[in-house]
Amino acid sequence: MSSLEEIKKESPFPIGDENKAFTQYFTGKSYLAGLTMEQVPVANVTFEPGCRNNWHIHHGAGQILLCTAGRGYYQEWGKEAQELSAGDVVNIPPEVKHWHGAAPDSWFQHIALSVPGENSGCEWQEPVTSEYEILK
């Protein structure tokens, strides 16, 4: 179990501000710190315990998650969720429906790299339902 104070000690990256622009795509609170928009957009995302984003698909280009602190999960549509911790790397190909977020009892933080591509973008979809929720 990681607390917010432990996350701050473990990670050299800032927590950022509450991610209010994307509230409708998250269950629980997340925090966002943009690290750079040059060449490859990179952001640090911090999730409070139990927070996760909705199912979503990156069209035209994928995403890479570099887990930096705490404990969380990543799941692709139709597959089992995988537990994540600091040091894990997730390569998400384009066109793969997925979600990621914190374990119910732990804060979680990852660096999200948006792979550049022509006509790329994220399509946000429905919240994760209890059918897929293996976190409890």
Write out pLDDT tens, residues 48-99.
999 999 999 999 999 999 999 999 999 999 999 999 999 999 999 999 999 9
Query: Could you give phi then psi for residue 102, rounded to 5 degrees?
Result: -85, 155
Containing 7, the helix (H) or strand (E) segment is: helix 4-10
CATH architecture of 4-124: Sandwich (2.60)
Q: In the chain, where are the structural domains located?
A: 4-124
Q: 136: pLDDT confidence band, cut at 50, 70 and 90?
A: very low
Whole-number pLDDT of residue 131: 54
Write down the mean pLDDT value for the chain: 91
Confidence of residue 25 (pLDDT cuts 50, 70, 90): very high
CA dihedral over 16, 21, 26, 29, signed as positive or negative: positive
